[in-house]
Amino acid sequence: MTSFAAPIAEQIWDMKYRFKDADGTPIDATVEDTWRRIARALASVENDPKHWESVFYSALADFKYLPAGRITAGAGTARSVTLFNCFVMGTIPDSMGGIFDMLKEAALTMQQGGGIGYDFSTIRPKGADVKGVAADASGPLSFMDVWDAMCRTIMSAGSRRGAMMATMRCDHPDIEDFITAKSDPARLRNFNVSVLVTDAFMAAVKADAPWELSFDGTVYKTVNAADLWNKIMRSTYDYAEPGVIFIDRINAMNNLGYCETISATNPCGEQPLPPYGACLLGSINLARLVNEPFSETAHLNETALDHLVSTAVRMMDNVVDASRFPLEAQRQEALNKRRIGLGVTGLADALLMVGARYGSDEAAHLTGMWFKQIARAAYLASVQLAREKGSFPLFDADKFLASGAMQAMDEDVRAEIREHGIRNALLTSIAPTGTISLYAGNVSSGIEPVFAYAYTRKVLQKDGTRTEEEVVDYAVQMWRDKFGDAELPEYFVNAQTLSPSEHVKMQAAAQTWIDSSISKTINVPVDIDFEAFKDVYLQAYETGCKGCTTYRPNAVTGSVLSVSEEKSSAPEVISGDEDAPATPHGDVVYIAEPLDRPQALEGSTYKLKWPDSEHAIYITINDIIQGGRRQPFEVFINSKNMEHFAWTVALTRMISAVFRRGGDVSFVVEELKAVFDPRGGAWMQGKYVPSILAAIGSVIERHLVSIGFIAGEGMGLKEDPRAQVVNLNESRGPACPSCGQYGMHMVEGCMTCPSCGHSKCG
């Protein structure tokens, strides 16, 4: 018997969360070992660790409580990683030294596995005077490019690529460039971007009034507010970004408004945070708490919910003490406020199980009831922790209870806080939960609707072949198990059948009882009218949401997932960041183990002469045949220039390690070609190449095109630097897998080696 509800759940566990030695040998033999590891680690800070280990294990068992991926993968492993999901970095100083100090802090944070957010509004606009150097400022967008390049080079802990959020105020002089920045398909691909929208701006939009763009007291430009709003909407309509953050509402509702000001969020938007703010995430799996599903008496088990929330709050509070932090400022911020982000996953599945149609008034009412219960249970649990362990250091009862969010809280809870204090400054948040939802059996993620009832996932096997398996939504599978092939009831809806207003209704119902924010994407059809699209954002503002993000299929980012009437047919991509939804898209499948190396491989060697360099660089790329397809397997980069030795060895090892994992490895080209040298690049054959690494990337790209691995040149440099090809084996025939000699040729219908007699036929 297995604890996993679906094959994909076990695969996710093995690839993402299972504790293994450096050589890949499993240490967690079963998922129960993983739960035990987490429970023991989080109980270690308690006075009675054995008791709390048992309690915590019970909460984790059967996937009822799902700590975020960083906790699940890192707790109890003794690895030097942070268990916190997301950070907002310090305020960026408007100086060159300060900006690059912030860049270093960002790199250190991402190296340990944290997603980061930044407000770039503090950097002077493009063209502003830079005193003392007789120059004009390059503006915040240019420095965002620097951050983006840094992010490309860092693979964060647990093999995750870094994730970043950039925000800018709606009154910054460069806001118009910020709004359209990601219309360039090759720019800022490691950033999510959102505009900080103020109440004053929304009032100006409604009044069709002028709006000043200013910095440091100087007005640079005056625009029409409605025109600027339409520009935001048009870019979002065309390119899916920027998102919109209602920043005044966030600060007004913040429990800590008396001691912090927020101007940025984490990469997925569910955590508005102050400078150096950090937050950890975890989710209650509502799909596991429904009693008697698909019956007349189906209901959410409220007693079990209260108990689970209370345990989850204690576990998350312990993470604050158990975690490492990339920066001391982040540690101090976390200890002073002890904010946590407890949310849910499986909401849509739970609604299906009790017979409620997602997006209906009934579903919104149930969502409000369930989330109020979660909020009450979380706050009361935190009060109990305060009685036992003390309130968070910056707690001020009068100011805390006067905050916007606390005005709606029941009086009995307010009275408890007033008398005993509270352990955690903020407690609730809703993350996307993409990967952990798959791990829990493909439950619907976060508060999103079911995206598709089923889809076909292509899995790349070790021998290079692909197999297909059906991945079914958790509630749909439960229906099938109970009723067989009976037709799904009308209340079974998915993202393709919902109106945008129904999405907003559900987000607003949840937001009432969430003290932080919500990560939710409102999927809209490609043919939605622009005016109707704009109304989605106005509805979100008017109904109390703290932000809004939509997705309309477009030419830049494509379609998230193609779904047929019966089921989708798309391969699965495991998200690089647990904060991001693990939506199937693209023809990329990552596998757990590297491919085995044959004794001999075919390949080509390329000569690259970088201008002003004494010695040429030689790049050898060897290929392997997998599933009838030729693909790169390893790279060797050599030069007589000893100054190049260390980085060429490092590059050889890293690229080869990526290639040996198989799958679509063409992203290596994109990453290399995007690297620029601050000392300047070089002109080659009339084209500017930004760095020697970019030139190497172009050579690799040309090789991939020549072997048919990719169809043609991708984004970035339009033409490759001219490299002389030194072909070692063009006319020799394939290499023999036995002796390594070239010259394999067809003899009586079988490939045979003339050197040693090895034959493919045996």
pLDDT digit string, tens, across residues 496-518: 789 999 999 999 999 999 999 99
Per DSSP, 90 falls in state P
Question: Who has greater pLDDT, 163 or 446?
Answer: 446
Q: Write b or e for each residue in 426-449: b if 16 or more Cβ atoms lie within 10 A of its Cβ, otherwise e.
A: bbbbbbbbbbbbbbbbbbbbbbbb
Q: Which amino acid is at 632?
A: P
Q: What percent of the chain has pLDDT over 90?
A: 53
Do the beta carbons of residue 172 and residue 198 sit within 8 Å? no
pLDDT of residue 730: 37
pLDDT of residue 256: 97
Band (469; pLDDT cuts 50, 70, 90): confident
pLDDT of residue 746: 45
pLDDT of residue 663: 65
Lowest mean pLDDT among 26-30, 176-180, 629-633, 756-760: 756-760
Cβ-count burial of 135 within 10 angstroms (0-12 exposed, 13-18 middle, 19+ buried)? exposed
Check 53, 105, 241, 270 and give the catalytic one.
Answer: 270
Lowest mean pLDDT among 179-188, 246-255, 404-413, 580-589: 580-589
Please tell me whether the peptide bond between 553 and the residue prior to it is cis, using omega within 30 degrees of 0: no
Angle separating helix axes 302-322 and 361-389, nearest 10 degrees: 50
pLDDT tens profile 670-692: 788 878 776 667 777 666 788 88
pLDDT tens profile 537-563: 999 999 999 999 998 877 666 544 444
pLDDT of residue 754: 47
Q: Which of 57-66, 134-143, 496-505, 522-531 has the highest mean pLDDT?
A: 57-66
Nearest CA-CA partner of 317 in 337, 340, 343? 340
Beta strands 65-67; 278-285: pairing state? antiparallel
pLDDT tens profile 564-588: 434 433 333 333 344 444 433 333 3
Instruction: Record the tokens describing residue 754, joined without a space.
Output: 């003339």
Band (723; pLDDT cuts 50, 70, 90): very low
Q: Which amino acid is at 754?
A: P
Lowest mean pLDDT among 60-64, 373-377, 447-451, 588-592: 588-592
**Mean per-residue pLDDT, 734-746:** 50
Q: Tell me whether residue 270 is one of the annotated catalytic residues.
A: yes
- Whole-structure pTM value: 0.75
Q: CA 263 to CA 251: how far, in whole Å?
A: 9
Q: CA 312 to CA 346: how far, in whole Å?
A: 16
Band (664; pLDDT cuts 50, 70, 90): low
Check 85, 266, 318, 523 and give the catalytic one.
Answer: 266
pLDDT of residue 719: 30
Q: Reply yes or no on whether the pLDDT at 705 is more than 90.
A: no
pLDDT of residue 560: 44
Band (760; pLDDT cuts 50, 70, 90): very low
pLDDT of residue 161: 52
Beta strands 522-523; 191-197: pairing state? unpaired
Lowest mean pLDDT among 183-187, 201-205, 306-310, 737-741: 737-741
Question: Who has greater pLDDT, 659 or 753?
Answer: 659
Lowest mean pLDDT among 49-58, 261-270, 295-304, 340-349: 261-270
Question: Who has greater pLDDT, 63 or 584?
Answer: 63
pLDDT tens profile 84-107: 878 899 999 999 899 999 999 988
pLDDT of residue 245: 96
Count of residues in the chain: 762
pLDDT of residue 555: 65
Band (155; pLDDT cuts 50, 70, 90): very low
pLDDT tens profile 284-304: 999 999 999 999 999 999 999
Query: Could you tell me which residues come within 8 angstroms of residue 563 by beta carbon, excluding any fewer than 6 positions away?
Result: 451, 452, 455, 496
pLDDT of residue 374: 98
Q: Tell me whether residue 279 is one of the annotated catalytic residues.
A: no
Check 170, 268, 736, 753 and give the catalytic one.
Answer: 268
**Mean per-residue pLDDT, 613-624:** 86
pLDDT of residue 459: 64
Sequence-separated contacts (24+) of 30-39 with Cβ below 8 Å: 30/3, 31/3, 31/4, 32/3, 32/61, 34/72, 35/60, 35/61, 37/75, 37/76, 37/77, 38/67, 38/71, 38/72, 38/75, 38/76
pLDDT of residue 683: 74
Q: Tell me whether residue 448 is one of the annotated catalytic residues.
A: no
Band (753; pLDDT cuts 50, 70, 90): low
State the sign of the Cα–Cα–Cα–Cα dihedral 656, 657, 662, 665: negative
Query: Could you tell me which residues come within 8 angstroms of residue 459 by beta carbon, excluding any fewer than 6 positions away?
Result: 11, 466, 467, 468, 469, 572, 589
pLDDT tens profile 397-419: 999 999 999 999 999 999 999 99
Q: CA 607 to CA 721: how far, in whole Å?
A: 11
Q: Reply yes or no on whether the pLDDT at 648 is more than 50.
A: yes
Band (314; pLDDT cuts 50, 70, 90): very high
**Mean per-residue pLDDT, 127-145:** 84
pLDDT of residue 247: 97
Q: Reply yes or no on whether the pLDDT at 127 is more than 60.
A: yes
pLDDT tens profile 455-464: 877 665 656 6
Q: Reply yes or no on whether the pLDDT at 159 is more than 50.
A: no
pLDDT tens profile 421-452: 999 999 999 998 888 999 999 999 999 999 88
